[in-house]
Amino acid sequence: MQAFLVAENLPDSYGQQAEHFFLPLLESLLPAIRSGRLKVLGIHGAQGSGKSTLADLYRYCLQELGLTVAQLSLDDFYLTKAERLVLSQTAHSLLKTRGVPGTHDVALGMQTIAALKTLGKDETLALPRFDKLNDDRYPEDDWPEVEGPVDVIIFEGWCLGVPAQRDTELAAPVNALERNEDQDGTWRRYANAQLAASYQNWFAEIDYLVMLRAPSFECVAQWRLEQEQRLAAKESGKPVMDAQQIERFVQHYERLTRYGLSVLPERADCVLALAEDRRIIDLTHSGERYE
């Protein structure tokens, strides 16, 4: 654990949370992982909730146990900048911005998971990666490779497992972005239709879903700003978006984030409830609650 904290520049408090919540959960899943019954472990969480860090932790721990892990993010399957530009010209201008269902290459995502499940000894597979600073997919030559056979796939994403809304729930805008730039609801109906179709098939690949539940959507903008600052410090030293730009950016995610917070706790296999400072305050797993 200490080596992981140092490598990821995480405080000791994260290690304490891991010892109390994350690692016991992973230990309970190990028999299913080792037997092959749990092939895809999903992690859902709003922007900045810590889902990527949790995925990194689980990959690290499982690799320490000698297991082969493939780590995927929903974000790595965003359509390219050029593809989203075409989509914005043919369907709705807001689809130029990555985020909502309809801006991912679902076919590539499903093909990747299918290939990982059948990857044989001495076979390798390149895993798609998205460059958020340049808002485009990395060249294929830069994708990391995993060698088979793969014991478990860790798949994390901000709307993982969220079902589509009913048509009546799409009528009223949830923020200024929808009110001013999607007045007739075309954008949100498009995203919802995509979510109802191919995305549900994609999410059905998940064998066990962990939810990092934010206390409210209001926390997400601040979390996203902190995430942007960390990414900038790691990559370039200069944030791509300032606070005002992030406030507009997260509005693309607001509708489904709010909906996920309301419906996913009943659907996820495990729910880790977060405080505003991202501390875990309780865990609900198989009908039992731990604090």
**How many structural domains does the chain have?**
1
Structural domain includes residue 202 = yes
Structural domain includes residue 287 = no
Would you state the pLDDT for residue 286? 63
Structural domain includes residue 289 = no
Structural domain includes residue 282 = no
CATH number of the CATH domain containing 269: 3.40.50.300
Structural domain includes residue 119 = yes
Would you state the pLDDT for residue 225? 76
Structural domain includes residue 87 = yes
Would you state the pLDDT for residue 222? 79
Tens digit of each residue's pLDDT (9 = 90 or more) over 178-217: 999 999 999 999 999 999 999 999 999 999 999 999 999 9
Would you state the pLDDT for residue 287? 58
The range of the structural domain enclosing residue 31 comes to 2-274
Would you state the pLDDT for residue 245? 82
The whole-angstrom separation of Cα 284 and Cα 291 is 9
CB of 188 within 8 A of CB of 251? no
Would you state the pLDDT for residue 237? 55
Structural domain includes residue 283 = no
Structural domain includes residue 178 = yes
Ranges under pLDDT 50 in the chain: 291
